[in-house]
Structure 1
Amino acid sequence: MTTDALPYRLLLSACADGAGAARIADTLVEEGLAACVTLLPGARSVYRWQGQLERADECLLLIKARADDYPALERRLLELHPYAVPELLALPVLGGNPAYLAWLESGGG
């Protein structure tokens, strides 16, 4: 495995409910901005918001995309997301199954 990032990203975002998460996932994949989005319901977030400790049940999205698509994906996710400050973290991909990476490169087609 290399320490240099490949031209792919794993993005994390959380939504308040599965319906909103599914709408974002469907849109990102349908518009070709992500090859795949995995939805993980049942996430429990603990965070501070406006000075208060908060707890929320959320649905975590694992978004797999090409690095070149990140700017457009970020814009689109921010348009679709209902939160005032949506979570969006982009993690570099350092390695992976070559066949999966080829599929990801094709945009999931």
Structure 2
Amino acid sequence: MVIAQTTVTDEAKAYEIAQGAVEARLAAAADVEARMTLFHWSKDALRHERGYRVSFTTTTERAANLEAWVHGRHPYDVPQWIVLPAAGTSDAYLAWAVQETTPR
């Protein structure tokens, strides 16, 4: 199991990506985290803007498909994409995630 994360500046887009990934069974769950401030470089200038992190719970096997799906709908040219191993996941939760990300 892994947790994959991206950020967007538009709240509605964050909800759309989160819900769509779960509906597509690419993620067992997706969390839109509270608004935060993002700092980054763009065109040689330091920028800051409000944004939202979307965290997806998915399986290692579905992570690449989820990445392609998210990148195809993401508003950024180069979206943030970070995949973190979910060490210590319970067997029951892992079984649930596998069930929920299995195409029907």
Q: Gaps spanning 5+ residues in structure 2: where?
A: none
> Match of 1:71?
64
If the length of structure 1 is used for normalisation, what is the TM-score? 0.86
Match in the other structure for 1:83: 76
Q: Which amino acid aligns with 1:52?
A: A
List alignment gaps of at least 5 residues for structure 1.
1-7
Given that 1:18 and 1:41 are in contact with CA atoms closer than 8 Å, whether structure 2 keeps it comes out as: no
Change (3 A) 1:41 1:17: farther
- 2:97 alignment partner AA: L
> Taking every aligned residue pair, what percent have the same amino acid on both sides?
25
2:28 to 35, 39, 42: 35
Q: Does the 8 A contact of 2:58 with 2:101 survive in 1?
A: no
1:46 to 39, 44, 48: 39
Structure 2 CA distance, aligned partners of 1:41 and 1:93?
21
When the two chains are superposed, the root-mean-square deviation of aligned CA atoms in Å is 1.5
- Count of matched residue positions in the alignment of Structure 1 and Structure 2: 102
The structural deviation recorded for 1:108 is 6.2
Conserved? CA contact 1:16–1:58, under 8 Å? yes
The one-letter code sitting in structure 1 at the alignment partner of 2:34 is P
Return the TM-score normalized by structure 2. Answer: 0.89
